[in-house]
Amino acid sequence: MAEDAKSSRDSHGRWVKGVSGNPKGRPDKYANVDAGAFLRFKNTVREVTTPEGRIMMTREAAIQHRLYQSAMQGNVHAQIYLSRRFRQHAEDMAKAWADFHELVFRVKEEKREYTEAEIHRLNALRANSGDLMPEAPKRRSRHKPKRNDGGSDPSVKS
């Protein structure tokens, strides 16, 4: 028996009070989940039988399709789940629109151009909204283009 094992037990071989017999503790429930394997599983394309016929779709899409079918057929748990998700989506969209309008209003009120960070933020809000928001304005260059005073187009070579 090792020295540290002897000091953690009493003369009868029982654990001393305050010493754990499992020093690493209980294993984590999700310790072995590999994110890459999960993404590969989620994005695997399968052939799924639907009322419209056999369709190729990802496993994620197939699960969502089945969830919607189940809710429409009267599964109360599926209906409650989807209702909560729809409500959360509506709240997220309202917040995104508020952020979008607040940013646009602030820039217009200050009578200035958008910064690169603001354009990036507007594009991110637009992407998260399913492209329902208007496109972010293009940032104009701070440098004036060089003019050719000769009257001809500088890009055309003679």
Residue 59 lies in a domain: yes
Residues 6+ apart with CB under 8 A from 79: 71
- pLDDT surpasses 80 at 40: yes
Residue 68 lies in a domain: yes
* Domain range for 46: 38-73
Residue 152 lies in a domain: no
**Residue range 84-135, pLDDT digits in tens:** 999 998 998 888 888 888 888 888 898 888 888 888 888 887 777 766 666 7
Residue 81 lies in a domain: no
Residue 65 lies in a domain: yes
Q: What is the mean pLDDT of the chain?
A: 80
Where is the domain boundary, 73, 97, 130?
73
Task: Supply the pLDDT for residue 4.
Answer: 55
- SS3 state at 154: coil
Tell me how far apart the alpha carbons of residues 92 and 83 are, in angstroms, rounded to a whole number: 14
Residue 156 lies in a domain: no
- pLDDT surpasses 90 at 70: yes
DSSP 8-class letter at 24: T
Both tokens of residue 124?
């991110």
Both tokens of residue 154?
């500088």
Residue 131 lies in a domain: yes
- pLDDT surpasses 80 at 33: no
More confident residue, 78 or 113: 78
Number of domains comprising the chain:
2
- SS3 state at 152: coil
More confident residue, 1 or 9: 9
pTM: 0.53
Residue 113 lies in a domain: yes
Residue 8's Cβ-side half-sphere holds a number of Cα atoms within 13 Å equal to: 11
